[in-house]
Structure 1
Amino acid sequence: MIDIDNTARKEAEEALLKAGALQNAIFNSANFSSIATDAKGVIQIFNVGAERMLGYTAAEVLNKNTPADISDPQEVIARAKALSVELGTSITPGFEALVFKASRGIEDIYELTYIRKDGSRFPAVVSVTALRDEQNAIIGYLLIGTDNTARKEAEEALLKAGALQNAIFNSANFSSIATDAKGVIQIFNVGAERMLGYTAAEVLNKNTPADISDPQEVIARAKALSVELGTSITPGFEALVFKASRGIEDIYELTYIRKDGSRFPAVVSVTALRDIENNIIGYLLIGTDNTARKEVEAERMLLDQAVRDQQFYTRSLIESNIDALITTDPRGIITDVNKQMEALTGCTRDELIGAPFKDYFTNPERAEAGIKLVLGEGKVTDYELTARARDGKETVVSYNATTFHNRDRKLRGVFAAARDVTERKRYEQSLQEADRRKNEFLAMLAHELRNPLAPIRNALQIIRLTASRERQRPEDEAVRSASAMMDRQVGQMVRLVDDLLDVSRISRGKIELRRGRIELASAVYHAVEAIRPQCKSMDQTLTVTLPPKPIFLNADSTRLAQVVGNLLNNAYKFTDKGGQIWLTVECESKQAVIRVRDNGIGIAADQLPRIFEMFTQLDRSLERSQSGLGIGLTLVKSLLESHGGTVEVHSAGVGQGSEFTIRLPILVETPPPPPEPTAGEPTPTTARRILVVDDSRDSATSLAKLLNLTGHETHTAYDGLEAVEAAATFRPDVILLDIGLPKLNGYEACRKIRERPWSKDIVIVALTGWGQDEDRRKSKEAGFDGHLVKPVDYAVLTKLLAELQPTPA
């Protein structure tokens, strides 16, 4: 342990005490209460601070009361109990509880509620010191109290001669530095030693407080005070005490420098010490370590900066978004927008905030409904609205919106992003227009292709009928072979045209399935009968295997026959002459499985993934005589998916053949089997008077000749007006009327005929190259009884004529 000669400090303290200045400075201060008692607790000194704080005059309490009489009695009792437990001895509630620790030599600072003369209360921090004589016997107690709101002011006044001075200067909670008038340190308490790292002996009568302060801050303070007070102040100790020397209360922040060179922020309170004549004899600087508060402030500044950075980042994200962003409260009132929303509406952010969201759209009711929809469902996507700007400009936008909440999950409002879809809408409209034109072109193409096929098919049927009635000649075999070949090619052409139209329907979602309970074998039978002539012409063997028990499906029989037919036609085209095709139908679990296999050219591995894509061609080599449009398999896949089925393909490779597998759900119930389909020669019919109207003379005359050969009486017309006139004069039982006619189209011609009273018994059938659903609807609205598409199968036409009721006499 190192002994320090403290003689100089003691001499300084005694000198100050003798002068009486320090005692007067403290006891004349109104910033804290100083209450001195005798050994029994009776108040002997009651300073002006005590009078100000408690409302009593000294005369009212001296030699009458104890400090316990002005303290909260319940707190005094509680303190007595707490100390009894802490110190293991019984302490009587009252004055003893207030000074017990000090009487035992224990430093005691505690909080207590003082009661003023008027009964009001205030919290105080009380420091208790036992006053002792030269023999160390207790002669009294000193209780220094400070109002917590003015604690720092009270610290400045804790200088006192004798026992009071020791009590204050022995505190390590704050630094107390007293100087002479020139600033040389005379007192340096334990708190100053702890904070600054110097012993008192190292600074007394040697340094000024400026020597332990940041020199740059001292210079800066001198400059600032010179400007503030309008006088020149020398950097150094003068800058630290100048205000106090002028009687101005002075508390400031300063950086103290420890002995080891480290620094800490301090809050310094300066008081000028004066003698009886009010002359300055020194200064008291009470300092507290401000590190904790500075750290909190620094942390708060960092937090504030982080919040500002986050707000800036968030705002940057909002403003950089290409969409118009907007927030509303739950009532639909706008709370924030970005620049894009300003541009969309032509209004400023200030104008938009606080306004109803719905006011900026052409359909306010729909806009308001959109907000309610978000609030009800939590979000909406692709909600279209048309925004109207201040200048009248309208913009179609697509909204995606969601609700947002605070940390407590309380609903705050709606966040919405609007994207300008005007260009997309125009593009979609252009696509729709292009699609419409494509469909019109396909319909026109089908019409123009069907028209020349009609007279060819009629002519072929005429050749068959006339040949069967004449004596057979050797050359007739060649004619029959040629006509059969032509009929097959006409049928192939018709299928290609139908496929084109079906693809158009599927792409528009217009395929209408007429589903019902059907027997699978019936649809397969139709497909097989249609392909047999082609297979026979190529000497191909078609092997069909059906299950012993019927399989029933909920399907469109015509479309299902088309699916099987397309697969068989595909196998026929890509199997060489003399090849084999197998068609197998089985029941596996609850599925009907149809397999179409061939030993044809096969499919390369790299083509398998694309086999069902539109316009895919398996073999583009010039040597292949059979080809197509590349849409048949696309139709197969689409039609099967519409039925809830699937199709798969397998091939071992080029030259190894291929196999297509169809799976369809079956019906559990088995209704009575449908009647066996009939085929073959046309059914004999009653002779009719038939008016044939077509602007193609070949179509009209060939069909009329064919009808004449089967016993009907015919008349021909080649435009709409001629058709109306011929109907009036010829009075037919049946009119086969084309749609695309000159002078008067078929629809108008039908309407004009229906206006005549004599037309009520006439059956009018559209016989046209227009076969779309829309065409059928128009013909029905115009008054047609039926609609046949060119080139009509004569068997179908004969069946229609046979089903007509005889014309009444």
Structure 2
Amino acid sequence: MQTQMRAHDWSTSGLGSPASWPQSLKTVAGLMLHCRTPVFLAWGPELSLLYNDAYLDILGERHPAALGRPLYEVWAEIRAEIEPLVNQALSGEPVYFEDAVFTLRRKGADEQAWFSFSYAPVDGPDGTVAGLYCNLTETTAKVLAEKNRQAETRRLYSLFEQAPSFMAVVHGSSHVYELANSAYLRLAGRQDLVGKTFREAVQGIEDQGYVALLDQVYATGQPFIGNRMPVIISQPAGEPLEQHFVDFIFQPITGPDGIVNGIFIEGNDVTEHVRTEDALRESKRSALETAQQLNALLQAAPVAIVMADMHGKPLRFNPASRQLWGDHPASESIAGYAERKGWWADGSARHGRQLEAHEWALARALQGEEAPRDTVEIEPFGEPGVRRTILNCGAPVRNIDGEIIGSVIAQMDISDRVKVEAALRETVTQYRTIANAIPQIVWATRPDGYHDYFNQQWYDYTGVPKDSTVGEGWKKLFYLEDQLQAAKNWRHSLATGEPYEIEYRLRHHSGQYRWNLGRALPIRNEQGAIVRWMGTCTDIHEQKLAQEALLQADRLKDEFLAMLAHELRNPLAPIATAAHLLSTGTLDPEGLSRLSEVISRQTRHMTRLIDDLLDVSRVTWGQVTLDKNPLDMKSLVTEAVEQVRPLLQAKAQHLDIQLSPGRSLVSGDRMRLVQVLANVLNNAVKYTPDGGRITLRVVEDDSHLTVCVRDNGIGMSRELLAIAFELFTQGERTSDRTQGGLGIGLALVQSLVHLHGGTVRLHSEGAGLGSELTMVLPRLPRLPQDDGPRRFDAGDALALPPARESLRVMVVDDNVDAARLLGMFVELLGHEVFVQFHPASAIECAHQVQPDICLLDIGLPDMDGYTLARQLHRIPGMENTVLAAVTGYSQPRDKQAAFAAGFNFHFAKPISAQQLESWLADVTRGRESLSTSP
């Protein structure tokens, strides 16, 4: 995007050329382009759009047409949704939204998409909000995954709720109910179990021994299986207690650390079955009554029951058995059970192996095994490929002497329960997979804050071993200065239930401490109690550094503006005083001469300040073109020393120059290299006390020239050395600001030396110990052919008016004082002058007097100088009139625009009197001035 922005045609954009952008826009745009996450910047009245590479996936086919276009034009379909948020940000209030949904046009169709984003207002040059900065992330995949997860959870919970057996889940050592299906609630005789402890659930339950059984399972981790266990259930007021009999399974639930943190309760109410057996025992006196009762039991039992003789031949089986097995054959013996298809499904080593005839519970009961209880998968007869999971229980039937005379088996279809359990396990696996798939760190804790889960990104990011940070181990990865605050905030959230959020430094696996945003939210049950905390850590290191860099840049900007104001006021003060003295009209010629020298000297100083600013701007934007020629370093040093000699003499400093013998040739731009050397020497002079010593040494080897400038001045601290080459950076200034400048000298030096293929380094032992700047430039081994600039010949000459002593000169400037003073000066040179302050009056005057030369300002009211120049050339007789721009716009693009509009020359304000006088003399003689710009 940085490349595309440079090549983009900005003429149709409300932003204009990047060179004209305010510094705040340039700075924020630079931050945006270096950001790895999707970012866009909307700027100006039209909210023109800029964006980085990461934002291209969101734009899709809108790119590249979206670049520089108004925000609402690019995203027309969601304008109604984002406009209030944009207006809020433009009013100065930041905006943040997480998982906000929008309907976007993508690939020719409308679709919903979710985003987490923030709008931050960005101030313009005048301190008011000029645009907004948006950092966003598309969370569509995450939101859709969460919706799917919730749907799957609801489906699983529906299966759990509709299971024929009763089920419940209790959590913690107090056995607090987390879940209970309808069957369980009916058994308990109440609907408000969740959130209550097992002791609170049923009145008097602690006296029945179940709490002790749960405690045992929780402590040992061993499941408990109990048949026909009595449970006394309380009834509504005024009704007697009711006793039930239940087949219980208490299955421990363990966390990732293998520690039991809950118990799954599953069972079947066999009260009716028990009561039937009691009835059978009471009816021994009547075989017929017993047979009838037994037959009734078999017919009513919801589970498959089979009674067999001592050989294994079924004597009686109930309808549930037919429903379970289909139309199965009647086996005469145990061997006949080979016809039944069954596979072990108990999760042991034999899981999946087909049962042999003697392994069925009925056969083992006939062998004397008491109450075998197996989980088996079967294929019913007549239903090939259909599988059902059953709980297969058997027991031997004995006579009075204890001899086995048969057996009975009960088989309960638990297929649905097994599917629910498998689905629950799959859901847990999916949750863990999703947590490991997302780029953020995810962690979870128990309600008390005990950390018991971290996703894979945590271990990849920190590099710590698995499970090494469970509990309190995570704290040691925090930066020491952040640990206390993080722990304090976490304790506050645990105590109040408020969301946890903090920025802290977390140790990366590289050993670096990187800034992260930590957030956590509580998960509450239906009663509002916190049952878990889910948290994330997001790496915001680059954003944090960018914020700090932005604050530093803002501080340097403020300091620079203060320095610039001071440096500009210094020459303005004597100029204003001189103007006042001139207005009195009491000065003699000598006084007038002195005032003229003051004004000229201070004007030159202001011009140098402005030229420095323009130079650093040109270098920064890569607009400097070097006029390289073979140069002798000795002559460059001589010119630079001549420029700083008045400062040296004023401070009585000694300059020691050490040059190598012979010619020291470099390939470079003479003006720029002299500028570099003069800047370095000027810095040494300013920061060295009166009477100090400065050494300039030039040494050379086979391929390089090294220039060292050493002083015994105030020196530099380690912190200042680190940023000395940055723009607007300078050392300490004295109270009268006689030291220092605009803070751009060293930045300009470094840039110009780099353009010459060289390097610059700065060294100081510390404050008060002086400084040394070293420049290394490529050395020319011999003098190459001179490929200097093209010389002008006679064919380049402009068509000028015939030579004569006096010319008609029209001056056009809406600044009345500037126009009159310039006219007065030209008139003093002996020319006829016509001063105009408006383009319309200038055109009227040109028709009347037909001037030979026009000196035009560019920034004129109603019509700029470019348009005025074109209209003047269209006036009959003025086709060859010489036009010169006298303007404050002096960038290379301004000069190009002037020449394109028909100007012959370009002068930057303030124009030098000597330069203008020389140029007018050349024009008077009908010759071209080769210097077309100051």
TM-score, reference length from structure 1: 0.43
Point out which structure has higher relative CO (alpha carbons under 8 A, 6+ apart): 1
Higher alpha-carbon Rg: 1
TM-score, reference length from structure 2: 0.38
